[in-house]
Amino acid sequence: MSRQEDYAYEDEQGEHTGARLLREVLEVAILTLLFFSVVRLLVQNYRVDGPSMQRTLYTNEYILVDKAAYYLHSPQRGDVVVFQYPLDTSKNFVKRVIGVPGDAVTIDVNGIVAVNGKVLNEPYVYQQLCPCDPKAIILQPNQYYVLGDHRGDSDDSRDWGPVPRSDIIGKASLVYWPLPDVHMIPNWSGVFMNIPPAP
């Protein structure tokens, strides 16, 4: 009788250990899933495809996009942003924000950009394409004017207009691959200092 009781006791303990192990495995799986879900809400990676942001970004570079930044504030002039292409939201583009809601953005025949009447000195621009079709637009609420840094080879707001705020995914903040090229992505905020208020 004593042996049967001992056997029953050990068997019960064995089942208890198995159930505890299963519970712990499930807890780890759930916590891992929650962790990656939260990270995905805050940060996402993208592969650059195309020359439109040279010499800031190059094809096949991988960038980290800070999605949390715009939970706290709106995109700023100079930010490099990833957004859904307005003509096909299944595609993502990366460009630089030039104008924010309320801004008057003009581009003359020489490709010179002005925001609210102030001409921009844009050291990040690569291969300006001239002569250009003149552009002039006043951005409505929740609209952003974006341009590629490679002005001679970029499909951007000059072609299809401003980007709605709802299409902006986040701020491109870091090139993390290839490893020799790891660096933060500058926003050139100094270029956009002293822009007068919107008209």
CA end-to-end span of the chain = 95
| pLDDT over 70 percentage in the chain | 84
- Are 149 and 71 within one domain? yes
Which residues are tagged catalytic? 52, 95
In a domain, 187, yes or no: yes
Q: Which residue has the higher pLDDT, 28 or 84?
A: 84
- Domain span including residue 28: 1-46
Reply yes or no on whether the pLDDT at 34 is more than 80.
no
For residue 82, what are its two tokens?
A: 């990833």
- Supply the mean pLDDT for the chain: 87
| Predicted local distance difference test score (pLDDT) of residue 9 | 47
Reply yes or no on whether the pLDDT at 8 is more than 90.
no
Distances, alpha carbon 79 to alpha carbons 2, 47, 114, 180, 189, in Å: 77, 18, 17, 23, 8
| Predicted local distance difference test score (pLDDT) of residue 49 | 95
Region of 60 please: left (phi>0), alpha (psi -120 to 50) or beta: left
Reply yes or no on whether the pLDDT at 102 is more than 60.
yes
- Are 55 and 18 within one domain? no
In a domain, 199, yes or no: no
Identify the CATH number of the domain in which residue 59 sits.
Answer: 2.10.109.10
